[in-house]
Amino acid sequence: MFGILPFKFRFRGKVRLILDIYYSFIDATSAQHGGVALHPTQIARTTGISFTEVAKRLEATPELFVRLPKRDGITRYRITSSATARSHEEIETLLRTAERNESMLFYAIAFMVLAMLAIVVLTIVPNL
């Protein structure tokens, strides 16, 4: 049903995965000085999340992760400068707010579909 909608839910139900990826970048940065660029396989190893899911989350959240130009044919990602300027609590708040907004959109669409079905049923029932 949701394949026909022109948008995808990027945060709804995926905040924990995104935070795990974010914290893997933070852990790698604390080991080295400055921003660190990681390949999705490196993130998948440290977090235990599948490679495909890590790649999808990195692509779907440009608010937090930026793709660096390919060097030697390898695509790496880094945390955006706006995300590095924020605290961990602000990042979690940002993600929770985005998830809440997507949930409200989901519930609004579900309510509209149910309302349309109710209108159809109420229109058909008196004619029976």
Q: What is the pLDDT of residues 106-123, one digit of tens each?
A: 999 999 999 999 999 999
* Residue 85, token pair as written in the block: 């300027």
Q: What average pLDDT does the segment 19-41 reach? A: 86
Taken in order of first residue, the domains within the chain and their CATH numbers are: 15-100 (1.10.10.10)
Q: CA 22 → CA 2, 43, 89, 91, 115, distances in Å?
A: 27, 9, 12, 9, 39
In the block, residue with structure tokens 């060097």: 71
Encode pLDDT of 34-65 as tens digits.
678 899 999 999 999 999 999 999 999 999 99
Q: How confident is the model at residue 72 (pLDDT cuts 50, 70, 90)?
A: confident
